[in-house]
Amino acid sequence: MWTVPLTDHPTYDHVRFKRVFTTDGTRHEVVVVDLHKLLICADRDDTDYVLKPVDDWHTGKVRGIREFLDPSNERVPQMPYVTISKRRAPGVAGWLGMAHEGVVAFRNGQHRARYLAWAGALWLPVEVHEREAPLLRELCGAGETGRESVQVAPR
């Protein structure tokens, strides 16, 4: 279980997450990411649905996600599940194949991630296939500071 601190949420100061893939041999890993970097990469995804900022959501959507993530609930939500790839960056360097940028697509959890960024989360655990985990760490990894901010609680 992972506990993510929130600095700007009006109702609670943290949320909890559990893994999406829990059985042995699933070939997925948890990567602690810098939430800002993750959302920059997600905003580049032109093949999937990208959400508006939280302030533009209707009140029912905000209330629903707030209640869903409330740490006082007995049910612990799953962490976001993402994929990541690289593409050529815009401009001459990208055209020449010398510059690349990351593109993240959410398979599940985009509302959670964007809401938590709005609520002041800096770091977030996400699940990704093991072959994509090194690229996700390289482009969006939280580093040492994230490991201090996101605490792994014993089961």
For 58, counting Cβ atoms within 10 Å of its Cβ (0-12 exposed, 13-18 middle, 19+ buried), the class is: exposed
pTM, two decimals, is 0.86
Largest CA distance in the chain: 52
pLDDT at residue 145, rounded to an integer:
55
At residue 24, the pLDDT reads 72
Burial call 86-124: b when 16+ CB within 10 Å, e when fewer: eeebeeeeeeeeeeeebbbbbeebbbbbbbbbbbebbbb
Please report, for the chain, the start and end positions of each structural domain, with discontinuous segments joined by +: 2-20+28-152
Per-residue pLDDT of the chain (155 residues; tens, 9 = 90+): 999 999 999 999 999 999 988 877 789 999 999 999 999 999 988 876 778 889 999 999 999 999 999 999 999 999 999 999 897 777 887 778 777 788 899 999 999 999 999 999 999 999 999 999 999 999 999 876 555 444 444 43
